[in-house]
Amino acid sequence: MDFVKKAQNHTKGHSSISSKSKAGSDDWVRALFDRIDAKDTNGWLEYLSNDARFYFGAAPPVDGKNAIRNAVNEFLSSVAAINHDIVETWASSDAVICRGHVNYTRKDGSALNVPFANVFKLGDNGLIREYLIYADISKL
């Protein structure tokens, strides 16, 4: 698997996804995180295959879009806001890796900033079939 390292564009803005050729591009990665940061779970789920598997740290994996939707909505309802700052990405034809910092605003208004790394394993259709998040949110 050959990865291409890219500097990440920090500008926010929604872009649509339409083909595997866009998977892993700076616009594709930023749009995916924009949807999570906006708590737009349904828009974010457009990036995942129907049979996707979702891993968040040490939590048990979650299988399938409906179960993933429920788990992500539950998590997002526990914070007031979320904002990802992507530092860099690496992409190949079947995987994307990115790292950065995620800023959580708790419901009491206090903030937590932690580093993260995500791995997206892509299916033949260019959608994410495995979504892995590595972040220490134990202080959240």
- Note whether residue 115 is domain-resident: yes
pLDDT tens, residue by residue, 74-99: 999 999 999 999 999 999 989 999 99
The Cα–Cα gap between 137 and 140 comes to: 5
16 found inside a domain = no
Which residue range is the domain that position 72 belongs to? 4-8+21-135
Residue 15 lies in a domain: no
> Is 70 exceeded by the pLDDT of residue 116?
yes
Look at residue 32 and tell me if it is in a domain: yes
In angstroms, the CA 94 to CA 140 distance is 32
Residue 108 within a domain: yes
Separation CA 29–CA 45 (nearest Å)? 13
Tokens of 33: 């995180």
**Average per-residue pLDDT in the chain?**
88
Residue 121 confidence class, pLDDT cut points 50, 70, 90: very high
pLDDT digits (tens, 9 = 90+) for 6-34: 444 333 443 344 333 378 888 999 999 99
Contact call for residues 82 and 76 (beta carbons, < 8 A): yes
76, 63 Cβ separation under 8 angstroms: no
Percent of the chain surpassing pLDDT 70:
85
Domain containing 60 — which CATH number? Answer: 3.10.450.50
In a domain, 131, yes or no: yes
Residue 13, in any domain of the structure: no
Domain count, the chain: 1
Is the model's pLDDT at 44 over the cut of 80?
yes
Q: Are the C-beta atoms of 122 and 53 separated by less than 8 Å? A: no
Is-contact 116 130, C-beta < 8 A?
A: no
Residue 42 DSSP SS3: helix
Which pLDDT value is given to residue 14? 38
pLDDT value at position 26? Answer: 86
**The predicted structure's pLDDT at residue 9:** 39
> Is position 14 within any domain?
no
